[in-house]
Amino acid sequence: MHIAVNRRGGSWLYPTLLTGGTMIRVLALLSLTMFAACASSHAAPHGQPQGTWVVGQPEDPYTTVAIGGRGSEFCAPGASCSFECPEGGCAYTCAEGSSCSIECGGGRCKTSCGINASCNVECDGGQCGTGCGAGASCNIECDGGQCAQACADDASCNTECDGGGCS
């Protein structure tokens, strides 16, 4: 393919002029590269990074998997549930308006207490974490210390701590 350009024959631009076919290939390659970059950056959703457990660190009540890889137990909205975890390292979610009674024998348990829910946690090994939503009532007995409780502004939270280091 020959393109006619109004330049004299000795012009340095004339030999470097890209033809239409070359421009289309460059545009296609650029589009493909941009598509691949976008597809790879949105391919997999990024979850929360899993934390590591350090001696004396309370469990984070907002993560989904407890130490030891146990999944979360769930109490349905408005239901009344009772959970036991003799080895510790369990995670519990009490939905809106539910009532949960939790016994964590080995410690390192996490509890998420939903809006207007009632959660009573007995943590015999310490290092438990509890998060309480708006209007929730959360009570934690921590034998072993190093427990943490995060409460919404209008939640009612009580912590009884034997062993110290609770927050």
Q: Write out pLDDT tens, residues 113-154.
A: 999 999 999 999 889 999 999 999 999 999 988 899 899 989
Q: What's the CA dihedral at 62, 67, 71, 73 to 10 degrees?
A: -70
**Residues 88/107, Cβ–Cβ less than 8 Å:** yes
Strands (E), the chain: 72-75, 80-85, 91-94, 99-104, 110-113, 118-123, 129-132, 137-143, 148-151, 156-162
In terms of C-beta density within 10 A (0-12 exposed, 13-18 middle, 19 or more buried), how is residue 86 classed? exposed
Q: Write out pLDDT tens, residues 25-60.
A: 777 777 777 777 766 555 544 444 444 444 444 445
Model pTM score: 0.59
The whole-number pLDDT of residue 19 equals 59
d(CA 40, CA 54): 34
Q: List the structure tokens of 167.
A: 């927050």
The whole-number pLDDT of residue 64 equals 47
Rank 58-62, 73-77, 162-166 by mean pLDDT and report only the highest.
73-77
Query: What Cα–Cα distance (Å) separates residue 48 from each residue in 91, 101, 109?
Result: 16, 27, 18
Cα of 32 vs its chain's centroid, Å? 33
Query: What length does the chain have?
Result: 167
Average pLDDT over residues 67-76: 68
Q: Tell me the one-letter amino acid at 60.
A: D
Q: Helix-strand-coil percent breakdown of the chain, rounded to 5?
A: 15, 30, 55
d(CA 126, CA 146): 6
Q: Tell me the one-letter amino acid at 145.
A: G
The whole-number pLDDT of residue 33 equals 75
**Residues 98/80, Cβ–Cβ less than 8 Å:** yes
